[in-house]
Chains A and B, each alone.
Chain A
Amino acid sequence: MNLGRRIHQLGVGLVALVLLAAATLLDGWLPGDTDDPGADPFVRAAALGEPVDLRTARVQVDAVRVSKTLLSFGTELLSPGVWVLIELTTEATRENTGVRFAELRDDAGRVWSLTGRSQNVCSEGPPGVPVGCATYFEVPPDALDGLRLRLAREPFEQRYDVVAEVDLGLTDRDAEAAAGAPPLEVPGTTLGGG
């Protein structure tokens, strides 16, 4: 095999590798088969005590408490992490509506859904009547700093819908304080505010 032919073959191989690398890079940029960015929910950021309009309901996070222990139906639930209990007020505007979706997200991109022992005890309410309720999750202590709560009306489908994202205002100091905090009692649902 002469030198010229060998150089030609090397050149073909090099071009093939460059094209393969470019195609791999491009594939990483293109949307996946299941991506649907047009259907992404509309996220509305809020702080504690700030009401958020969810189109057919309003929701406001009133208070957040943390502890290692949560009381549920008289049973003490001990967490290997930290319990986060969030008190909300929701108010339907047009028809019976409730906030039935809730999840926590941290700065590391982790998501805690209503699985395991986490629960949302908020129920639907009639239009114009404030409903006081709560939702609670257990998370690792290192998640508290920057933890955000997402709330929406529909439990299984948030595409095209409004989602409230509330910064819970927790820090690492809250994680330390949770170890000595008293057990959290889940408040009952109230109607009519006050």
Chain B
Amino acid sequence: MAVLVVGVLTVVVASLGGFARTTPDGVRVVRPGVEVDATPLRVRIDRASAAYEVSGRAADPGRAYVVVEGTVALEDRESVGNGVLEDTFGADFRAYEFGELGDGVPPEVQVAGDGSTLLGLGPGLTYEVLLVYEVDEVDVPTTVTVSLRRHVRRASSLSVGEIGWHDAATFARVELEVAPLSGERPEELL
């Protein structure tokens, strides 16, 4: 009887991800290429690289881009805006936002196929995306850790009657090697 109970508990815990590797703060570590539920999104982080140019746009002199490739889809029945999309991803390095270098800068989410900026998404669509961060060229990291956050659907604290996605909280991390910059900055970008 005891063996049966242990066996059932093992199967139940394993099926719910209870044996997944975690960090001391309880956050799961997810391998690159594995799709995860980042409510209300479903995301997959594949690889990272450094580049002087992304989607035809060149970084300013002295700067470069860190580009994280992956996919994102919406699991909910109603479109979500840019706030939810950006808040889903966090990075462990300093990047530029509006010309200022800072921590916790959200990425610019681009559609990989055409380089357009994705400011939210609708249900039923899966996008190949580039998470683009602008950094100082001398500080391009060799590894990055991308944090993934889940949101909670609840009533807004500010707008009466408005229901939305709030309280983004980190639940998983993906650790990636960053493919280095390819040699020197191309002459046409100088």
Contact = CB atoms under 8 A, between A and B. Distances in A.
A139 B125 contact: yes
B116 A77 contact: yes
Across the A-B interface, the 3 shortest Cβ-Cβ residue pairs: A115-B120, A140-B124, A113-B79
B77 A110 contact: yes
B122 A118 contact: yes
Contact of A117 (B119, B128, B161): B119
B121 A115 contact: yes
B126 interface: yes
A136 interface: no
Interface in A99-127: 108-113, 115-118
A34 interface: yes
Interface in B105-141: 111, 113-116, 118-128
B180 interface: no
Contacts of B77: 108-111
A109 to B, nearest CB: 6
A116 B127 CA distance: 11
Interface in A66-95: 72, 75-81
B155 interface: yes
Contacts of A33: 155
A117 B113 CA distance: 14
Nearest to B71: A80
A167 interface: no
A142 interface: yes
B78 A110 contact: yes
A143 interface: yes
Given A36-B161, A113-B79, A81 B155 contact: no
Per DSSP, chain B at the interface is: loop
Interface of B: 77-82, 111, 113-116, 118-128, 155, 160-163
Contacts of A81: 124-125
A151 B114 CA distance: 29
B116 A113 contact: no
Given A77-B114, A117-B111, 13 more contacts: A34-B161, A36-B161, A75-B114, A75-B115, A75-B116, A78-B111, A110-B77, A110-B78, A111-B79, A116-B120, A117-B119, A139-B122, A140-B123
B79 A112 contact: yes
B113 A78 contact: yes
A185 to B, nearest CB: 16
Contacts of B161: 34, 36
Nearest to B80: A115
B123 A116 contact: no
B121 A116 contact: yes
A113 B122 contact: yes
Nearest to A108: B77
A34 B155 contact: yes
A145 B124 CA distance: 14
A110 B114 contact: no
A138 interface: yes
B122 A78 contact: no
Contacts of A111: 77-79, 123
20 contacts: A36-B161, A72-B116, A78-B111, A78-B114, A79-B125, A80-B128, A110-B78, A110-B124, A111-B77, A111-B78, A113-B79, A113-B122, A115-B80, A115-B82, A115-B121, A116-B79, A117-B119, A137-B122, A138-B125, A140-B124
Given A115-B82, A116-B79, A139 B118 contact: no
Contact of B116 (A117, A137, A142, A143): A117
Nearest to B124: A140
